[in-house]
Amino acid sequence: MLAIDLTGKRAFVAGVADDGGFGFAIAKAMAEAGATIVVGTWPPALGIFQKLLERGKMDASMQLARGGRLEFEHIYPLDAAYDTMDDVPPEVRESKRYLGQGDFSIAGVRDRLRTDFGVPGIDIVVHSLANGPEVKKPLVDTSRRGYLDAISVSAYSNISLVRELAPLMRPGGSFVSLTYMAGERVIPGYGGGMSSAKAALEADTRTLAFEAGRRWGVRVNTISAGPYASRAASAIGFIDTMIRYCEENAPIPRRLEAEEVGHTAAFLASPLASAITGSVVYVDNGYHAMGMAVLPEPQVS
């Protein structure tokens, strides 16, 4: 039997704050395959996330099909908008949502991973991070600040994670990120520079695959997932319309399940995908292949 086996591997999943998104689904799939899991959570959401876990609100979703439950070795505060604490503005440092979190920059996570697990100490890094403060604005109406913020968190942070965490990886290390069709084609309403950020993420995936592959021997891929009603995606404002449209027009006319993205990420991180790098892997029921909407069936009177 050919199985996805991540036994003995450690995955760091950046961007988990509940059990409703792709980040959690990926963490759970990798745990099902035998990996141990460390997560990074946006500091303002960290307290709520920890309370959900402590109070058992996520117990059902933490159960693994192979028995046992998903456990997080560590939960680190992470705001991927900042490479180091020197980049953090005073008003953020002093905000009550960030006080007492320690070093929540990307360099801070690097240092925590190095301290907790040594070098090399990790095998897989998952970038499940995106934020566009003006996502509801058309691109033409997006401010420079809003555009740059979307690029910073949603795309540049992946470059920073590769640069800082690749040196901590064991041989055969793998990076996986999440992109969306809006980086290639127009999705009206998906604004604020987020379409540009996804396009940058995909272009960076190819370049990073070459540079990080040659320098550290790691692989870099991204998953283009279909629309899914996570808490973060719901901020777009019309996620149900996006889901329904894809369901009606995809070659496989059904809704995407988060676990399907999780399974693909586990495969890409496994030895079974050892020759796959620099790729955009579509997990969208085939919607990306369509060039025209499905015409409605003619009504018979």
Catalytic positions, written as ranges = 180, 190
Identity at 278, one-letter amino acid code? G
Instruction: List Cα–Cα distances, 143 to 38, 50, 198, 212, in angstroms.
Output: 35, 35, 18, 33
Structure tokens at 247: 């369901």
Q: How far apart are CA 72 and CA 62, in angstroms?
A: 10
Strand (E) or helix (H) holding 267: helix 258-269
Please state the φ and ψ torsions of residue 240, each to the nearest 5 degrees.
-65, -40
Residue appearing with tokens 């965490």? 165
Instruction: Tell me how far apart the alpha carbons of residues 96 and 99 are, in angstroms, rounded to a whole number.
Output: 5
> 6: number of CA atoms within 13 Å, CB side?
28
Helix (H, G, I), strand (E, B) or coil at 237: coil
Residue written as token pair 């035998």: 34
First to last CA, the chain: 54
Closest C-alpha among 114, 86, 112, 88 to residue 99 = 88
Strands of the sheet with 280-283, listed across from one edge: 72-77, 36-41, 10-14, 122-127, 169-179, 219-225, 280-283
Yes or no: say if 155 and 201 are a contact pair by the CB < 8 Å rule: yes
